[in-house]
Amino acid sequence: MLSEETYCNLKNYTVLIAEDDQVALNSLFNTLKRYFKNVITATDGYEAYRKSLENSIDLIVSDMRMPYQDGADFIKKIRESHPDLPVIFMSAYQDSQTLLKVIPLNITEYLIKPIQISKILELSLKVVQQKRQIVTAQNSKKNLVELINGVIVDIDNKTLKKENTIILLTKKEFELLSFLIHNRQSILSKLEIEYALWNGELVAESSVKTLLKKLRDKIGNESVITVKNLGYKINLHHQFL
């Protein structure tokens, strides 16, 4: 059984399963839907290719031998537009002719049937981790952070986004969020926040708590941790600062 942490790593991704055996397809679907955000199914290469065009796919799990169009021809077509899309092949065949068709397709893994679903999940996690490493490298020079719940904060442009939805903050709310992020290694007391945001001005006793509540309502309660008797700390998932 995968850990809760592993589940969180998979739940933002979409997998496409191409398999003509309905029993095997149902088994994979019923397991993977517990972990992935979306699980899309197809029973032949033509259907799989069409659904890959209609959806944003992060991983393909494909049978090798299928009616109408086999897995190798399906992936060969995919490679025209997605040369690096991760692909896990499943097959009962190990003959040289089959393997020679697969070698040029830049696949992640070639699994021999019967398949252990735990192996599919293990490989899926590996794919997700590699994808995150690539994203991290691509964003290494950007002033971005990702909060624990998937909210992306662009410090330079003062924008927030989650799954292509923009989150609007007031000037004071963004000042508070920025202060928490720039001091992400520290637990900030109410007085430290008050002084930083109001520069020593006299404000109501409840000003910090009220502002924190408004911020949490927009970015999620779990994004700012309350440490009893000490203060507050931003809860980051990834940082590209």
Q: How many domains does the chain have?
A: 2
φ/ψ (deg, to 5) at 155: -65, -45
Domain boundary among 80, 105, 138: 138
pLDDT of residue 241: 44
CATH code of 232's domain = 1.10.10.10
Same structural domain, 128 and 170: no
Select from 71, 104, 138 the last residue of a domain: 138
Boundary residue ending a domain (138, 157, 175): 138
Specify the pLDDT at position 6.
62
Segment holding 117, helix H or strand E: helix 117-138
SS3 of 192-204 = HHHHHHHCCCCCC
Query: Does residue 120 sit in the same domain as residue 16?
Result: yes
Q: Are 41 and 128 in a shared domain?
A: yes
Residue 12 sits in the same domain as residue 97: yes
Q: State the residue range of the domain holding 195.
A: 144-239
pLDDT at 192: 93
| Alpha-carbon dihedral 205, 206, 209, 212, rounded to 10 degrees | -110
Do both 10 and 127 map to the same domain?
yes
163 with 125, same domain?
no
- 110, 62 Cβ separation under 8 angstroms: no
pTM more than 0.85: no
Please give the pLDDT value at position 227.
93
Give me the tens of pLDDT residue by residue for the chain, a chain 241 residues long. 556 566 677 888 999 999 999 999 999 999 999 999 999 999 999 999 999 999 999 999 999 999 888 899 999 999 998 998 999 999 988 878 878 888 889 999 999 998 888 899 989 988 888 877 776 666 554 578 889 888 999 888 889 998 889 999 999 999 999 999 999 989 999 999 999 999 878 888 899 999 999 999 999 999 999 999 999 999 988 554 4
Beta strand residue intervals within the chain, DSSP E = 14-18, 38-42, 59-63, 87-91, 109-112, 144-147, 152-154, 159-162, 165-167, 224-227, 231-234, 236-239
